[in-house]
Amino acid sequence: MSADTVIATSALTKRYREVLAVDVLDLDVRRGEIYGFLGRNGAGKTTTIRMLLGLIRPTSGEVSVLGARIASGRTDVFAHVGYLVESASAYPNLTVRENLDIQRRLTGAPGTRTDDAIDRLGLAPVADRRAGRLSLGNKQRLSLARALLHAPQVLVLDEPANALDPAGIVEVRELLRTLADRDGVTVFMSSHILAEVAHLADRIGIIHDGRLLEELDREELHAKARAYVEIAAKDISRAESLLLGSGFSHVERGGDGTLRVFDAENRAPEIARLLVGAGLELTQLTPSREDLEAYFLRLTGGEAVTETASPAEGSAA
């Protein structure tokens, strides 16, 4: 653990009877960075976040936030932490402004913070609307505004872009980037929108079956993501046979009916000559590289990233 460590876990473990939801997890999240926490359905993301916030007790191991060990009954550190866990929530019969003003008074934030939060999250058009009548996207904005009211040093966010439209996702991305870069806020976030994590996160931790498989920053992701040549042709099966018969040993079918030839990013002209010379009509031949989603799915052996309820709500998170 370094001097810049803001969130740390040591051998963090959570078991629900026969289900090992989090398995000896070690994290070291640094001041002012955005840490993307990725995992498939049931990987342990939400369970980890709940332990970081003291909402559930670990079976074993330790959690510390801002240098304070999180233990039963300790709440002082959370005066400096903002959070959004799972679904957006608010008092449905109160307006947006009233919800925020209650939160402001509970946290002891200055009176100006309510209007600041409304402006920051684009809530002015609905500020006097009852929270129960908001769209899902505006409910999410309200929850984010509540998390930011007391100017926290740490933000712990479970799916912060949930239900937001594309413009809202960009706004939240820019807000979090500003908080980290300008104000030194540490952001720990889980998300199933992998492209957004790739844009935003300084470091990424990938959890699978409760264990941390890998941590990497943007440069490491680029270095580990495989390069390939993507091919589309009228007769894709014949193209595949020709490539395999000509020494291109690593050829995969893409989900969109294309071929991906790995370890061949510098051999595109050779591939074109081979296939066109055999009389095949090519419709695409493009050098490319895996994105975060492809790398994530290759590492975890999955087909999609989806969310589920925590064990407390009926399944392992």
- pLDDT tens digits for range 251-310: 988 877 899 999 888 889 999 999 999 999 999 999 888 888 788 888 887 554 433 334
User: What is residue 256's predicted lDDT score, i.e. its pLDDT?
Assistant: 79
User: What is residue 303's predicted lDDT score, i.e. its pLDDT?
Assistant: 52
Between CA 53 and CA 36 the distance in angstroms is 17
User: What is residue 317's predicted lDDT score, i.e. its pLDDT?
Assistant: 42
Half-sphere exposure of 204 (CA within 13 A, CB side): 25
Q: Amino acid letter at 139?
A: K
* 176-182: Cβ within 8 A, 24+ apart: 176/34, 176/200, 177/34, 179/148, 179/155, 180/32, 180/33, 180/34, 181/32
What average pLDDT does the structure give for the chain?
A: 88
Q: Among 59-63, 167-171, 189-193, which stretch is predicted with the lowest mean pLDDT?
A: 189-193
User: What is residue 274's predicted lDDT score, i.e. its pLDDT?
Assistant: 95
CB burial of residue 206 (10 Å; 0-12, 13-18, 19+): buried
User: What is residue 312's predicted lDDT score, i.e. its pLDDT?
Assistant: 42
Extents of the domains making up the chain: 5-219+305-313, 226-289
- pLDDT tens digits for range 58-117: 999 999 999 999 987 777 898 999 999 877 778 999 999 999 999 999 999 999 999 999
Half-sphere exposure of 256 (CA within 13 A, CB side): 7
pLDDT value at 24 more than 70: yes
**Domain 226-289 is in which class?**
alpha beta
Classified by CATH at the fold level, domain 5-219+305-313 comes out as Rossmann fold (3.40.50)
| pLDDT band per the 50, 70, 90 thresholds, residue 2 | low
Start-end of H helices in the chain: 45-52, 96-107, 113-120, 136-148, 166-183, 194-200, 218-224, 236-245, 268-277, 292-300
User: What is residue 99's predicted lDDT score, i.e. its pLDDT?
Assistant: 96
User: What is residue 306's predicted lDDT score, i.e. its pLDDT?
Assistant: 38
Q: Amino acid letter at 35?
A: Y
- pLDDT tens digits for range 209-241: 999 999 988 788 877 888 899 999 999 999 999
Query: Which phi-psi region, left, alpha or beta, contains residue 192 (left: φ > 0; alpha: ψ -120 to 50)?
Result: alpha
